[in-house]
């Protein structure tokens, strides 16, 4: 109870100070950043206009302290624009070769795992143990000591796309490699929104082949933010409710059927994404999305880049990752190593 009261007070202080434009120098920027760190995840439930005000201040602070210049080519700008407009780009121009795919698959086949969609300490299993549910996952230390995966987290093209989409230097706050098994009920197979930051970009990497009816990912276009297309849908199918109410009412994991989602949003707007192993997809998963059932084991990684440390840091029991000597060299040589400062 006291924590909720504290978070509410901090929220009101932040919004009041921003509205009177008091954050104009380094001293007040530090106060703003500290308040934000102590504010709790209820900040993500603010009205969109308030979130935008906070987001713009975060961008100003981060860009003022950024010493890396970004040169975006036409292809990367096009990808970023597509994500901004629809919420998803179903095929990034990122090269993941067959040797990398094989190395990743072999690597994770020989590691301890967690008997859950994301790692929880109590669910840790030894290599060779039999999983009991729909998923297994791996901790950060295991993941980031996989060389092809670490290289993807630091990939020049991916970080440039994230920078363009977020409007500032991204921070990697979550990486999760997980395997989905057939003939199991999985909770992520209902449409839902993620709620991780004020703005973030999720990059998916398919390490195994996926097909239209075997492990495809679906996202409902235009549901990630306020836009003309969504306004039209709200007017026609949701009695014209405002964006903030629509966003909260459609947070997800409801009892609505797939047919009901199709009726509400239109079949043409439900994008089903699948492809050969090595495929890379980027989406703003604040938009309504879901996984689908698999007929064969599916191995996928998500990499999430945001503008703050995200609420996800509160759920990780791993404080820092200890890289092997090979990956330390790769990390230290990257000009984007600060992107991983929350994990490494």
* Rounded mean pLDDT, 319-342: 92
The sheet carrying 217-220 orders its strands as: 270-273, 217-220, 289-291
As given in the structure block, the two tokens for residue 236 are 């026609």
Q: Cα 77–220–195 angle (5° rounding)?
A: 80
Distances (CA, A) of 46 to 95, 195, 270, 339: 38, 12, 27, 26
189: closest CA among 226, 135, 130, 144? 135
Exposed/middle/buried for residue 11 (C-beta within 10 Å: 0-12, 13-18, 19+)? buried
- Cα torsion through 170, 171, 176, 177, rounded to 10: 60
User: How much is the pLDDT for 338?
Assistant: 93
316 pLDDT above the threshold of 60 = no
Beta strands in the chain (DSSP E): 88-89, 113-114, 124-125, 135-137, 171-180, 200-206, 217-220, 270-273, 280-283, 289-291, 298-306
As given in the structure block, the two tokens for residue 297 are 């084991």
39 pLDDT above the threshold of 60 = yes
Global pTM value: 0.94
Q: What is the mean pLDDT of the chain?
A: 91
User: How much is the pLDDT for 260?
Assistant: 94
25 pLDDT above the threshold of 80 = no
Domain boundaries, the chain: 2-64, 74-340
User: How much is the pLDDT for 186?
Assistant: 80
CB 195 within 8 A of CB 315: no
**Domain 74-340 indexed as CATH 2.60.120.620:** yes
* Dist CA 185 CA 182 (whole Å): 9
How large a percentage of the chain has pLDDT more than 70?
A: 96
* Rounded mean pLDDT, 19-29: 74
pLDDT in tens, 47-85: 999 999 999 999 999 998 888 888 889 999 999 999 999
User: How much is the pLDDT for 344?
Assistant: 82
pLDDT in tens, 158-188: 999 999 999 999 999 999 999 999 988 788 8
The residue with tokens 């998803």 is 88
Residues 6+ positions from 170 with CB-CB distance below 8 Å: 159, 162, 163, 201, 305, 306, 307, 339
CB 280 within 8 A of CB 148: no
pLDDT in tens, 282-314: 999 999 999 999 999 999 999 999 998 765 555
276 pLDDT above the threshold of 90 = yes
Distances (CA, A) of 196 to 42, 47, 312: 11, 15, 7
User: How much is the pLDDT for 317?
Assistant: 55
As given in the structure block, the two tokens for residue 98 are 């067959």
24 pLDDT above the threshold of 80 = no
């Amino acid at each position: 109870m006291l924590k909720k009261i504290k978070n509410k007070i901090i929220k009101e202080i932040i919004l009041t100070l921003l509205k009177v434009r008091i954050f104009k120098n380094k001293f007040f920027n530090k106060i703003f950043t500290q308040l934000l760190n102590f504010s709790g995840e209820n900040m993500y439930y603010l009205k969109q206009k308030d979130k935008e005000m906070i987001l713009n201040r975060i961008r100003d602070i981060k860009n003022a302290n950024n010493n890396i210049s970004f040169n975006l080519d036409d292809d990367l700008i096009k990808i970023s624009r597509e994500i901004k407009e629809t919420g998803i780009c179903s095929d990034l121009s990122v090269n993941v070769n067959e040797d990398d795919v094989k190395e990743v698959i072999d690597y994770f086949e020989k590691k301890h795992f967690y008997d859950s969609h994301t790692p929880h300490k109590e669910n840790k299993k030894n290599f060779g143990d039999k999983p009991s549910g729909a998923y297994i996952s791996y901790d950060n230390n295991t993941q980031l000591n996989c060389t092809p995966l670490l290289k993807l987290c630091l990939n020049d093209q991916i970080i440039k796309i994230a920078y363009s989409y977020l409007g500032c230097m991204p921070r990697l706050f979550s990486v999760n490699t997980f395997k989905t098994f057939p003939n199991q009920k999985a909770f992520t197979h209902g449409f839902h929104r993620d709620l991780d930051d004020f703005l973030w970009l999720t990059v998916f990497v398919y390490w195994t082949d996926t097909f239209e009816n075997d492990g495809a990912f679906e996202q409902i276009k235009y549901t990630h933010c306020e836009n003309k297309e969504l306004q039209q849908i709200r007017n026609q199918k949701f009695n014209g409710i405002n964006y903030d109410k629509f966003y909260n009412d459609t947070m997800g994991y409801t009892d609505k059927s797939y047919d009901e989602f199709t009726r509400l949003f239109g079949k043409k707007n439900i994008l089903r994404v699948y492809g050969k192993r090595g495929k890379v997809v980027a989406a703003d998963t604040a938009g309504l999305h879901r996984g689908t059932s698999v007929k064969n084991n599916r191995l996928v990684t998500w990499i999430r880049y945001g503008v703050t440390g995200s609420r996800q840091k509160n759920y990780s029991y791993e404080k820092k990752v200890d890289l092997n000597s090979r990956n330390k060299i790769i990390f230290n040589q990257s000009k984007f190593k600060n992107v991983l400062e929350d994990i490494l």
